[in-house]
A and B are shown apart, each in its own frame.
Chain A
Amino acid sequence: MAVAPPPARASRARRKDLLWIYLFILPGLALTSMFIFYPMGASWYFSLTEWNGFSDAKAFVGLANYRELIGDGFFWGSFGRSMIFVLIGVPLRVGLALILAIVLNNVIRGRLSTFFRTVFFLPVMAAASVIGVVLTFVLSPGNGPIALLLETTGLTDTPVEFLSDPDLALWSTLLLHTWKNFGMTLIYWLAALQTVPPEYYEAAEVDGAGAVQRLIRITLPILLPFAVIIIVLTANENLHAFALIQALTGGGPYYASEVVEVYIFRTAFAPDAAGGVPRLGYASAAGCFFGMATLIIALLQAWALKLVAAQRARLDR
């Protein structure tokens, strides 16, 4: 790719180069093996054991954990809530971010655009757990600023329990997670919009195309391939809402906002609340099952969007 194959007389220098090349690869390979490949394999092995984490003793139990998992209502509840985070949270975030990105790219120009980008990116930079603590205070039903605002404007007379009402908690956490990570999706879209050659717009304008037509005929078709990767990245983020949810509600009240990662954490490391012992093997089974499920979803998504893109290309011809 980068350097043409060396002529024969350079082969000694080439061999020396090769040594350096593999030396350069080694640290990355070692770290990745330790912290990505090994844990993925180990997780599967752990999932076949009963292991409390206090000692190294792992009793091999075969598929018992998986059998138990399939009958575990708490797991399926958390699984369903994770799916809500994807099926409702992703279209919400990706769609709103697309609209805003187009406005920031095509309507608002210069420094003002940079200002708004930075504002929307602000919560992305902050730790989810810190944001969680801050938002818990802001949304505090008794005397938080939002409660005071709702009260003084007379919108409600009873305090809204955003995070402690079982019917509201999941939706509050979903909205707050969308709020926090919105800027990331916005950046993805803005970067994709940068790939639209300005000449296209200028040519279309000369041809008398209006703003809406330019959007439908030029912008959106060019953005479509990026949609695949942006949706997958956003879905991935929405499946990893652990930090924010743990800090906002801890999965409560009564498990109402417990997504799979919170379930895994509780089962593996914080079982006291449920009055049990840590079950790292069982939690690993939940992790592996969920990992596979999300992988399948990601592949299905990529496949579906490829079909859409192919369809679109056919229409264009």
Chain B
Amino acid sequence: MTTAGPTLRTSTSVQEADGARPPRPPRRLKRSEKIAMALGVLVLLPIALVWIYPFVWVFSSSLQSNAEIFASLNPFTSTLQLDNYIRAWTEADMGRYFLNTIFVTGVSILLSVTVNALLGYVLGRYVFPGKRLIYVLLALVVFLPEGYTVIPIFDLIDNLGLSGSLWGIALAEAGGVSVIVVLLFTGYFAQLPKELEEAAKMDGAGFLRIFARIYLPLARPVLATAVILQFMHAWNDFLLPLVLTLSQPDLRTLAVGIYSLQNQYFSDWGMMSAASTIALLPIILVFIALQKYFIESFSGAVKG
């Protein structure tokens, strides 16, 4: 992680931090490397099939009737129909679960990304009394296993009077700081040039303005990463929303909702496949849309 102070950088290095790493001159592959690559692909393809198969299967099943699903192993032999989706959305309440999940995920992203960015900003750019203590607390968050917090959180949400609303789940999903995200922000803000701040101060900009107008917009790649990580976390989390909605089926999120439908619709593979696709698709689309930022700032963080 970047702990060194800010190095003065020219404007080109800001672009570099913003986008790709400095381009390395492309090197022509040697013959032996091409052969190795071909062999590698040959070995990897069947393995990749094992990883992708359940997704292909669930998607194709979602478009088939139950009779067709059982008839053949070939996923592409059906007459396509959307009946499963209609039944999942209305009969099985996936529509409600979908909207619940969007609310919980959206609120928790706003909350957690804001909180983590603010913390990362002051850690990355300022020296202040108590800074060491903050790092110690962050280290505690990493090292203390979080598995046994669910019972007190269940109790806390109840005591706050939030057990009957989606706000309680959203708040719990935002949870405490995410150490990885805070450190990503810290490292990123630390390496942005100080001159920006000085110039803004000349123009009379205050602390908040410098943060909101200058540094925060520059941190787009880390913001994207923070959004993806929290999106994945809140969209997929299971234990906490399960516990918080045990007596509130109406508040269930997709991850909990599908699980709760499992026994009821066990023989209805077509509809369960449609329900699963509804839960899977948004997260896959968001990832594909933002993955450029994701991989980059991840390797940036490890490198730093």
Contacts and interface: CB of A to CB of B under 8 A. Distances in A.
State whether these chains interact. Answer: yes
Given A21-B126, A116-B44, A290-B148, A129 B238 contact: yes
A126 B280 contact: yes
Contacts of B283: 125-127
B249 interface: no
Contacts of B145: 236, 239, 291, 294-295, 298
Contacts of B259: 129, 132-133, 246-247
Looking at chain A's contact residues, the main secondary structure is helix
B19 interface: no
Contacts of A138: 53-54, 57-58
A191 B298 contact: yes
Interface residues of A, number: 95
Interface string B255-266: 110110010000
B141 interface: yes
A65 interface: no
A3 B127 contact: yes
Contact of A31 (B55, B152, B175, B238): B175
Given A25-B118, A116-B48, A288-B148, A243 B232 contact: no
A216 interface: no
A283 B254 contact: no
A239 to B, nearest CB: 7
Contacts of B224: none
Given A39-B156, A138-B54, A298-B143, A264 B148 contact: yes
Contacts of A291: 144-145, 147-148
B302 A246 contact: no
Contacts of A117: 295
A290 B36 CA distance: 46
B263 to A, nearest CB: 10
B73 A20 contact: no
B44 A265 contact: no
A133 B262 contact: yes
B54 A134 contact: yes
A123 interface: yes
B284 A135 contact: no
Interface in B248-298: 254-256, 258-259, 262, 269, 272-273, 276, 279-280, 283-284, 287-288, 291, 295, 298
Top 3 A-B pairs, shortest CB-CB distance: A287-B148, A32-B176, A39-B149
Interface of A: 1-3, 5, 16-18, 20-22, 24-25, 27-29, 31-40, 42-43, 46, 100, 103, 107-109, 112, 116-123, 125-138, 143, 145, 148-149, 152, 179, 182, 187-188, 190-192, 194-195, 198, 226, 236, 239-240, 242-243, 246-247, 260-261, 264-265, 268-269, 280, 283-284, 287-288, 290-291, 294-295, 298
